Chains A and B, each alone.
Chain A
Amino acid sequence: MIQTDGTYTLAFPQIGKGDLARVGGKCASLGEMTQAGVAVPPGFAVTTDGYLAMLDKSNLRAEIERHLASVDVEDLDSLDRAAQAIRIRIRSHRMPEAVETAIRTAYASMGADTPVAVRSSATAEDLPDASFAGQQDTYLWVRGADAVVEKVRDCWASLFATRAVAYREKNAIPHIDVNMSVGVQKMVNARAAGVAMTLDPGTGDRTRIVIDASWGLGEMVVSGVVTPDNFSVEKVLMEIIDRKISDKHVEMIGDAERGETVEREVEAPRRTAPCLTDAQVIAVAQLAKRLERLNGCPQDVEWAIDGDLPDGDNLLALQSRPETIWSQKKKAPAASAYATGMMGIVNTLNNPLGGKKKA
């Protein structure tokens, strides 16, 4: 059990749908998945209350407003200078003691020096522009309470990354309306990882689940450093319809001795071997399908296979968020194009399927 204070920290099982404003989109999703029984690496959220306490303690709020008041959106240089000044201010301040204690207590209860991922979870992540969500930082393989506290502060600061500030200015989103929660989550020793979309991103086909997967942590897939293996699974029958196995030359893994993630070359036979067995492909697809049902709309799921856990229990969901591109399009063709009853039969006989050659 992770020990949290219920104010500045909340363990994932304590987080429900109503907590979005306190924990941000990413942690709310992790909490909901945990509550629904989906296997998620354990962890806790540092709530927005912690962020707000930090702002209040040092009167940072006024300072931020002052920095940004003079900024001209079109002048990238001035915007960058202001954003950087705010980040430095956030990083250089001591955290309110109650917040820091809560973080240290929760982290200690996860085990001594447990490697964790520290991820920012902003409250405005549900904005339709998905690229905004990627503006905040994620730190992998963080070990030790001091490092965790520091990375929490870095996450807070990342709210004022130049591009994030520019985005808010452009879209007239008050900076002070966007709050930052931070997720602290047990690091997965990923044997393989990747993303799964519950529709075909190429066609919007909702009968497909499309999986990108590579060796090690999923960051290599997300960042596009490797060409991942690609699997297409029929969503209802749960059959692998298509597979493309790629040359996966590098992987990112945790280095326990150096206490950080490292990139390393993948040795020859493994590079071109599928990184998932067929059973694992189906398990990932089942997980994605379950998350789509849970959330009621197509999802973009990050997942990993943990090398430390036994087969059957080693597939973990790291994140699930709504798919934003196709979900907003109206799908074709209109059903009214189909005749019903006897006219349907007549049309079918007059224009049978298979009568036309495939392209």
Chain B
Amino acid sequence: MDAMKSMFPSAFEVATPKGAEGWQDLYPYYTHFLPQRRAQDDATFWFCNSQHWPTPFRPFDTVMLDFAIKGLGQYNTRHLLVPPANGVDYRILNGYVYFSPVAVPAEDIEGRVPQFMERAGHYFMNWGDLYAKWKDKVLAKIGELDALNFEVLPEVEPLDVVTGGVGLDSTNQLFDQYDKAIELAYKIWQHHFEFLNLGYAAYLDFFGFMKGQFPSIPDQAIAKMVQGVDSELFRPDDEIKKLARLAVEKGLTAAFDHDSVDAILTALQTSAEGKAWIAQWDAAKDPWFNFTSGNGFYSTDKYWIDHLDIPMGYLKDYIQRVQDGEEIMRPTAKLLAERDRITAEYREMMDDEAQAIFDGKLGLARTVFPYVEDHNFYIEHWALGVFWRKMRQLSKLLKDQGFWENDDDMFFLNRNEVRDVLWDYSAGWAIGVPYRGTAVWPQEIARRRKIYEALAAESPLPALNNPPEVITEPFTIMLWGITSDAIDRWVNAGDDDGALKGMAGSPGVVEGVARVLRSPDQLSELQKGEILVTPVTAPSWAPVFGKIGAAVTDIGGMMSHAAIVCREYGLPAVTGTGNASSRIKTGMRLRVDGNAGTVTILD
């Protein structure tokens, strides 16, 4: 290979997609590859995090990126002093985000060990108590988010503001509520990372031990020993299944022949049994329908609770399956027995000394794992779902004031511009003049929307510049499945015989027809038995896993959501293929080998 030439292009040589000129205006300066820092940025390896952000950002949505990355970094760098790893630096290029983990200089690693042992040790020793407290803290913040309310400024301040000598007006409420929403999202993201990397570290420690004992042990065997069967992530799907069974048991299925949710509920209202069913449905909604078919990182994510047609669609599928005599509930007792069997059988193959170490490491991995799974429901699904609902409320309010044309246009402004709009609104209201933004934002939003669409029409590059000799950053490997081998696969992606290589995410071999989905909105296109091919899946796609034959993703490590859910549902999965969703087209016949981690295009 030419020593001077990089394996991946420089960010400064990547062309702007046609029609996306000026895209830089959509994102804050600190996310840009700046010419002033070209030397450093070109000397750094960046990989596209399309696992968490598979589509470009609308300007407001970078709020999640900022807070998530800052939260991830602070625990590694400032709270716990993870010996080899600081945070993850990030840039936006053509609307997609690129990550680069920041290693601790080799000479400083040893010095951080005692502090890490003390600080992380405290968390491991007190995991149960701290996790209980964590839930209280997060639930309290969700409660605060829920209580937020944005009110239109009144024509005239109420009389009691005057008679009570308040001396302040209604604009304060707007600023308070907005600032509080942003602050709560910021804090929620800090809590998201409070335990996460420790959880991954404990899991990795057990994982490495098992690989040392049994070099050929499949990754999924290790995961199966640790994973729980009662994760809260499965609850929304379980609730839908229970409702489906109830509808069949009580003979209510005719009502579900109606198309709309309203018509179905109206039909159910006519009987006592139907009313009882509705009561169950309402009870399930809070909190379990705070569940997104995306990943919570986008303003466009659809949450079940705001789009009841989504869970209702799944419910209808389940009713059909119950009527066909299928057992739809997850066999939790069987799954637990299986977990115990697997654990016992590997343990038996070790000598006494190894068994003692196994017990310790497995015990810790199992202690931390519920957090690794469940935090996702509390943060991404529940808390962020409430946050986005409140932000949509605000966007609608400002639209009604003439700032823009569509309900959700606010998300084409960044979070600081939104605060400027609130000022514009407040000042114009106080002065008694038209809001200046009403003449500015509709055109600007139209311009930004065009740019956004041009960005979204292009797939991102997997990486920029030269990868390091070896990838050693532990969280990059764990969270994103970015290993030296994975990079080799990306580089060699074009030049083989129709076989794509990825990670053996979940065992089994299946042949079938591909359905390529780029967005959760397309989920309804899936036909029974098809192979789902997508950049990344979310756990909330669970209801479609009863329908599909296998799953293939572009990105994702052994603990990626796709791998976890596929193992749970007994489906073959190949994750981290790099580019399956662009190389495979809907309708192609595929052979997915979840044991070997390969996908073959058969025609």
Contact = CB atoms under 8 A, between A and B. Distances in A.
Contact of A237 (B113, B220, B353): B220
A333 B215 CA distance: 11
Interface string B331-373: 0000000000110011001110110110011000000000000
Interface string A333-354: 1111110111111111111111
B597 to A, nearest CB: 11
Given A352-B472, A354-B477, A345 B205 contact: yes
Interface residues of A, number: 39
A235 B478 CA distance: 26
Most chain A beta carbons < 10 A, residue from B342, B351, B474: B474
Contact of A335 (B345, B353, B478, B485): B353
A355 B357 contact: no
> What is the predominant secondary structure among interface residues of chain B facing chain A?
helix
A236 B212 contact: no
B117 A342 contact: yes
Given A349-B474, A352-B477, A205 B484 contact: no
Contacts, number: 120
Contacts of A350: 83-84, 109
A206 interface: yes
A208 B595 contact: no
Given A336-B353, A348-B205, A342 B124 contact: yes
Nearest to A234: B218
A356 interface: yes
B121 interface: yes
B212 A337 contact: yes
B205 A239 contact: no
A357 interface: yes
Nearest to B350: A335
A340 B360 contact: yes
Contact of B346 (A236, A335, A352, A355): A236
Contact of B212 (A333, A345, A349): A333
A342 B205 CA distance: 10
Contacts of A351: 472
Contacts of A343: 117
B477 to A, nearest CB: 5
Contact of B357 (A207, A240, A338): A338
Q: Contact size class for B?
A: 35 or more
Contacts of B472: 351-352, 355
Interface string B215-242: 1111011001000000000000000000
A205 B215 contact: yes
A206 B488 CA distance: 31
Given A237-B342, A353-B208, A342 B121 contact: yes
B357 A340 contact: yes
27 contacts: A203-B216, A205-B214, A234-B218, A234-B221, A236-B342, A237-B218, A237-B342, A239-B218, A239-B507, A239-B508, A239-B595, A333-B212, A335-B353, A338-B209, A340-B360, A341-B360, A343-B117, A345-B120, A346-B117, A348-B201, A350-B109, A352-B204, A352-B473, A354-B483, A354-B485, A356-B470, A358-B485
Given A354-B483, A355-B470, A355-B477, 20 more contacts: A205-B214, A207-B346, A234-B217, A236-B341, A236-B346, A237-B224, A237-B342, A239-B595, A338-B209, A343-B117, A345-B202, A346-B117, A347-B205, A348-B208, A352-B204, A352-B473, A352-B478, A353-B204, A353-B477, A357-B470
Interface of B: 82-85, 109, 113, 116-117, 120-121, 124, 201-202, 204-205, 207-209, 211-218, 220-221, 224, 341-342, 345-346, 349-351, 353-354, 356-357, 360-361, 470-474, 477-478, 483-485, 488, 507-508, 595
